[in-house]
Amino acid sequence: MTESTVRIGLVLPDVMGTYGDGGNALVLRQRLRLRGYDAEVVEITLADPVPDSLDIYTLGGAEDSAQRLATRHLQRYPGLQQAAANGTPVLAICAAIQVLGQWYETSSGERVDGVGMIDVTTSPQPKRAIGEVTTAPLLSGLSAALTGFENHRGGTKLGGDATGLAKVTRGVGNGVGDGLEGVVQGSVIGTYMHGPALARNPELADLLLMRALGVTELPPLPMPEVEQLRRERLRA
């Protein structure tokens, strides 16, 4: 590792990482390395305090009991909150949206205080949202449709400080009737898309990387396999 190594925090992969969400960190690392940057993934487990000094963070989805463990750990070691307050990009997948929010209710109806980084609340919905999800981005800097796979019972309501990442064109998304998918607040971007989301949505990966690097442009990385996957998913 050198001083210029870009450090990607994979937060609590031991409890949060449904459907290979940890792959988002690998996508970020690979897109950096292919462009000549030194990059490494730093895994932060339940045995570690959460550092505030990394360049970008990602958190995956989880089932209810695992997400409670993660919530407690992030409350105890507030490095992620400090990093986000300093503008460091954070990508939160599925349960991670719920954990970083104000509170969430588990599927058994128990209300758990979240980390409070984003202005969202989550309650279980009558029907589990499961399947492909496709959206049209609302966040400036993104133009391509976002695609992923969702599997959640929680429906997430955005408060006044949060905005939607995208509008749902297929699937459920946040699931509270506002037609929105995901959340954006400050440097935090959340989405219900597993997949892993960044393998399927390179534009989102590069937006996060540009923010992490403090640049406004990155050289293009043509990847026919990714384009093929996107075409298949958008057609399916």
Q: Which residues are annotated as a binding site?
A: 128
Query: Which of 8, 39, 62, 180 contacts ligand GLN by CB under 6 A?
Result: 62
Determine if 153 is a binding residue for ligand GLN (CB under 6 A): yes
Tokens standing for residue 178? 């506002």
Q: Which residues are annotated as a binding site for substrate?
A: 128
What distance in Å separates the CA atoms of residue 28 and residue 32, rounded to the nearest whole number? 6
| Pairing label, strands 103-105, 111-113 | antiparallel
Shorter beta-carbon distance to ligand GLN: residue 30 or 151: 151
Query: Which of 92, 95, 198, 207 contacts ligand GLN by CB under 6 A?
Result: 95
Determine if 38 is a binding residue for ligand GLN (CB under 6 A): no
Q: How many angstroms from the chain centroid is the CA of residue 15?
A: 15
Between the CA of residue 45 and those of 14, 18, 77, 196, what are the distances in Å?
A: 6, 15, 12, 20
Span interacting with ligand GLN, options 44-52, 82-90, 145-153, 218-226, rule CB under 6 A: 145-153
Span interacting with ligand GLN, options 57-65, 74-82, 138-146, 215-223, rule CB under 6 A: 57-65
The span from the first CA to the last CA of the chain, in angstroms, equals 42
What distance in Å separates the CA atoms of residue 94 and residue 173, rounded to the nearest whole number? 10
| Pairing label, strands 56-59, 6-11 | parallel
Q: Is 194 a catalytic residue?
A: yes
- Shortest distance (Å) from residue 222 CB to ligand GLN: 32
Q: Is 152 a catalytic residue?
A: no
Orientation angle between helical segments 202-213 and 23-33, nearest 10 degrees: 70
Query: Which of 15, 22, 57, 64 contacts ligand GLN by CB under 6 A?
Result: 64
Determine if 31 is a binding residue for ligand GLN (CB under 6 A): no
- Shortest distance (Å) from residue 58 CB to ligand GLN: 13
Q: Tokens 């609340």 correspond to what residue? A: 121
Determine if 142 is a binding residue for ligand GLN (CB under 6 A): no
Q: Tokens 């442009």 correspond to what residue? A: 217
Contact footprint for ligand GLN (CB under 6 A): 18, 61-64, 67, 94-95, 151-154
Catalytic machinery residues: 94, 194
